[in-house]
Chains A and B, each alone.
Chain A
Amino acid sequence: MNARTFVGGMIASGVILGVGAGVGTAAHQLTVSSVSTGGSATGTAAGNGSSGASSSGASSSGVDGTYTGASASTRFGDVQVQVTVSGGRITDVTALHLTDADGRSVQISNRAAPILRDEVLSAQSANVQMVSGATYTSEAYLTSLQSALDQAGM
């Protein structure tokens, strides 16, 4: 799933703050501060909730420009979306880049990919001090690498 599909899904579920017509009916104030591209008026709109729509001109075509929506919470933390309106229609949606609490780039997708055995064993594997494995029983522990490490550590 790429960023646009993800964000498209969020719009479909009404999570993203709506800009212009038809996205919702809650009466939120649009705060127009700075700006961008052409059209009859431009502005940056920020809402105070995770869903909602322009309170003015709900039946009109909306104001052209680029808008940054309110943050929406996802499993990664908060995501902000930038929406471009042109000719009264949303013409582009971009998920703004975020890093998570670990400082890693937020991946929109967590799908698993095939890998080779040797790709995931590093040069530091000789320094492993604790092993995770499906060692449920005491008997299985006795023949495990963990047991050897524990005995060596004593």
Chain B
Amino acid sequence: MRWTFGTMGTVASILTEGDVAPLLRARVETIFEGYDQIFSLYRRESPLAAIARGELHLADAPDVVRDEYARAVRWRARTHGWFDPHRPDGVLDLSGTIKAVAMARAAEALAGDEARGVVSVGGDLLAIGGWQGRAGVADPADRGRLLADVDLGRRAALATSGSAERGDHIWSRAGSTDVLQATVRGHDIVTADVVATALVAAGTTEMDDLLESFDVDALVVTDAGMFASPGWPRPRASADLSPTSARG
């Protein structure tokens, strides 16, 4: 079955091979709603919004807020600051990791029911139960087109970050970036999401350094063409594409 619902300012789309009982669907939607109620900057009553207004100190926030802040700060260190929950305007924004954390929890709930399929939220995918389907990567220049397609095995997570339609979503201490879109395939969705975000923020000069630091595969679209890490599938080698190219 396939079901969609709005959450976290975007759309969740969940595909499973069998049916998911209404109670479990409600539980999955509640997982996202729960995180959104606490971490959304667009909900006036959320602790994160209160912190942004200066009405609540992080030290007085619920434990989950401090725990997630600690998680985001660890990722800032691991990415040499290229993933950073602190916005240039001083606002603490945890949406980068929270979406992935919620996806992981939702996937656990579904996998616990022995579901097989894939959870997609705001452009990130997480396969569950050994899903054998095919995942695509959208073309940043044309949302209706595919750039690439891959399998999701043990590397069940596929996260894409982009600068093209980001608005304020990805800020960078470099100010601007030559990376239009980065897609990362990895073993867990938080890592994939953070590294994809960092790749966009950091630009091509830091691309190799970031890729060397994590056990992921990546497809990076820049203003000067595309790059892929060694583990990114290349089903059609370039030698097969050009009928007139000299071989060997």
Contacts and interface: CB of A to CB of B under 8 A. Distances in A.
Interface of A: 1, 75-76, 100-102, 104, 107, 109-125, 127-138, 140-141, 143-148, 150, 153-154
10 contacts: A110-B212, A113-B229, A114-B226, A121-B236, A122-B236, A132-B158, A133-B143, A134-B138, A138-B10, A141-B11
B238 interface: yes
Nearest to A124: B134
8 smallest A-B Cβ distances: which pairs? Answer: A133-B138, A134-B162, A122-B235, A128-B136, A112-B227, A120-B148, A153-B2, A125-B149
Given A102-B153, A131-B137, A133-B123, A118 B241 contact: yes
Contacts of A143: 143-144
A132 B233 contact: no
Interface in B105-153: 118, 120, 122-125, 133-138, 140, 143-149, 153
Nearest to B199: A112
Given A134-B164, A136-B10, A102 B154 contact: yes
Nearest to B151: A124
Interface in B35-71: none
B103 interface: no
A141 B10 contact: yes
A113 B208 CA distance: 9
